[in-house]
Amino acid sequence: MPAMKELVKGTDRYRHYINGEWVDSTVKEWIDVENPATQAIIASVPRGGEDDADRALVAARAAQPAWEALPPATRGQLLKDLARLILENRERLARIVVAEQGKPIQEARGEIEGAALYLTYAAEEARRITGDIIPSDMPDEQIWIQRVAHGVVIALTAWNYPAALMCRKMGPALLAGNTIVIKSHEGTPISALEIAQLSSQLDFPPGVINVVSGTGEGIGAALVRHPIPRLITLTGSVRAGKEIFRAAADDLKLLRLELGGKAPFVVAEDADIGAAVRAAVLSRFENCGQICICNERMYVHRRVAEEFLDKFTRAVKALKVGDPTTMVDVGPKFSGMELDKVERMVDAARAAGAEVLTGGRRLTDGEFARGHWYEPTVMTVADNQMRIMQEEVFGPVVPVMTVGDFDEGLRLANESNYGLSAYVFTKDMRRVMRLVRELKFGEIYVNRPGGDAVHAYHAGIRDSGIGGEDGKYGLDAYFQKKTVYVNYA
């Protein structure tokens, strides 16, 4: 088979984007960015440190008052202009996402469109920033409750959607009048830096948007510990979220933490089996299973288990794995460490009694000789306490359990430390109504695959985090409330 195509030529070196300028890091070390499909080094970025964090935060703080003083419609128009530039550069940005992250090109194009949509949606809220005027108990007095900016926001994003997650946080933060310092995961920093380059072509004042690079333990920790920021928003692992929670405690910083997930997929005996199979495949194997809302474990009613497993396994076997620059279904895992983790989890499940119906191994021959590849995998298990049922896989592997009834499916679904997303297929509306109270997850998909709406609300409970993103509730988190007692006697 032909070798994987190189997606970004050369090994460009990027710099930090701080205060409207491209600046060198004070740390003279670099992080190589690897293409997960080929293991080629496609770029290098600075391994930023404390001085870089301080410089970015000081610039953001200096720019914030004037930025907040602009009319919201002016701030919104700049976001719309940036969304336009992103769409004009859709193909180039999509290929950068493929090169640094590994998702198939058609999914990367969708990510870039989603990034623009996050900015556009935030911008459209500019004329809907409202407060309250309420009567006072005192004569000749009113009470005004206003929404105002926090000040400086830190946005820390994960490697699975480097462009979309940046814009998901940046749009509402800037619309609310905050300035921002963004640090992407060190494995996928290019998308954010390229979007910063597009923003520099517009009239954003210097210091409003700052993008730095480096590790979580280095510049990431320095940003979190710094006294300037008031709000930290993270999309990342449970481990990272808990570390930030501890580090932010001394200054009582506000946190929005969107962490891991272990979404259950419950198939009742009255489900539309064809629709459930299609949704289960898409919701597990999109982006190589590397989505926090992915179908991570399945509970199928015994009456339909044989039919469902037969159709589901055949559909998974038919998925095409390969060069993500072409029209394939599944690309590589993001990194060697991630691939090792998936392999260990599958091997442990097999040793504990799981039966592998398809897949269950690395791909290493031919076009897969380089890169991080794993077969789409389906396995059956009998114990809900197995590691594969309790810990996030974040890869192209799904375990399936048979359950005796709908209630058992809900009970097993709730046996988790996570609480982000869940899926349920049933035609019984009484069961659907029960989900609101009985299924302990922040986001539930009924009779459909995953994929949240920009105007809804994306939030988890338990180890899946605190706070949330999107819609009017997500936007509200980027404001603080200020009460003014106005006596006009």
- Beta-carbon neighbour count of residue 203 at 10 Å? 10
DSSP 362: B
Cβ atoms of 79 and 123 within 8 Å: the answer is yes
Tokens read off for 172: 């509402």
CA distance 223 to 119: 24
Token digits of residue 153:
């926001």
> What number of helices (H) and strands (E) belong to the chain?
15, 23
Contact of 124 with 83, CB cutoff 8 Å? no
Catalytic status, residue 68: no
378 membership: H or E segment, kind and range: strand 377-380
Rounded to whole angstroms, the Cα distance separating 374 from 338 reads: 10
d(CA 409, CA 404): 8
Where does residue 470 rank: exposed (0-12), middle (13-18), buried (19+ CB within 10 A)? buried
Question: SS3 of 141, please?
Answer: strand
Q: How far apart are CA 376 and CA 482, in angstroms?
A: 52
Nearest residue to 207 via CA among 164, 178, 166, 168:
178
Joined together, the tokens standing for residue 341 give 């983790």
Which one is catalytic: 34, 194, 243, 258?
258
SS3 call for 292: coil
Catalytic positions, please? 258
